[in-house]
Amino acid sequence: MVYDAVIIGGGPAGLTAGIYAKRAMLNVILLEKMGVGGQIIVTDLVENYPGFPEISGADLAGKFEQHALKFGLETKGMVEVTHIEDRGKIKVVKAHEGDLETKTVIITTGTTPKKLGAKGELQLIGRGVSYCATCDGFFFRVKTVVVVGGGDSAITEAIYLAKMTKKVIIVHRRDKLRAEKINQDHAFSNPKISFVWDTVVEEIVGKQVVEKVVVRNVKTGAVSEIKTDGVFIYVGLIPNTGFADVNKDERGFIITSGCMETSVKGIFAAGDCRVTPLRQIATAVGDGAIAAVSAERYIEGL
């Protein structure tokens, strides 16, 4: 069987593409490496998706999935795509679990948190070093944690961690945050959150579990230590696009047109994995809708 569309990735962009593709009566399947929902499943609180002034990421992901299933979207979890073979009008989506033939592919694989690269980081993952406050915050009840980064992820997750920990220390390499102003205000007014500016974490130290971080002030060069029980790292995102032979920018984000076309005809990309000025649920959803409609038009033209 040849599908009309194979969607790779089950976050907001992929599920929206699935809804639009099903409503266009396309024969479509959505493949997901883990379970459907995407990165928002581990987001404590979403406050900027219209219609839902306050909803947990997991609840919103559940609603997206239910909505897609209502239109009969076929989904398959635990499938890791390794390559897309371009045979012109037919693409072969290759996975360990088997190959699928399709007229179009919509890549919505999102991103993975970037590692900091500090000494001791990799050795202490799961023993105090974490990239997911919603997953691991519970283990740091009434303890002190360091959060590294100054973007929206660092700030929103620091606010989440402040609910259960004794103290959150945000270590940021500049003296200004990159995060949305409203998130900044919430963090600045939280009595449990403090900031260490112009500072980078050079080493994470601990015998069995994290005990402290060694930091360096980038302006003065002064090296000091901060005692902490945990280190939560939010220093940006790496796109999950290694399997796709399409044009990308220097960081690996897929370059698309406004219609979500990639450099290969019949392959589209949407959401956080593409080059875009804003990575939000709202923008991912819009991208997903455009990608599905573009795929439909491409198929009509075949």
Residues annotated catalytic, as ranges: 132, 135-136
Run of H or E residues at 12 = helix 12-23
Beta bridge partners of residue 55, listed in sequence order: 46
Per-residue mark of binding to ligand NAP, 225-254 (x: CB under 6 A): ---------xxxx-----------------
Which residue's CB is nearer to ligand NAP, number 182 or number 302?
Answer: 182
Which residue's CB is nearer to ligand NAP, number 157 or number 261?
Answer: 157
DSSP per residue, 107-139: E---EEEPP---BTTGGGBTTTEES-HHHHGGG
Does residue 199 belong to the site contacting ligand NAP (CB under 6 A)? Answer: no
Q: How far apart are CA 95 and CA 205, in angstroms?
A: 39
Does residue 156 belong to the site contacting ligand NAP (CB under 6 A)? Answer: yes
Three-class SS of residue 72?
coil
Are 6 and 31 within 8 A, CB to CB?
yes
Does residue 115 belong to the site contacting ligand NAP (CB under 6 A)? Answer: no
Which residue's CB is nearer to ligand NAP, number 206 or number 271?
Answer: 271
Q: Which strands form 223-227's sheet, in the order they lie side by side?
A: 199-205, 212-217, 223-227
Of 180, 198, 203, 245, the residue at the interface with ligand NAP (CB under 6 A) is 180
Per-residue mark of binding to ligand NAP, 41-80 (x: CB under 6 A): -------x--------------------------------
Alpha carbon 164 to chain centroid distance? 24
Contact positions toward ligand NAP, by CB under 6 A? 48, 116, 148-154, 156, 173-174, 178, 180, 200, 234-237, 278-280
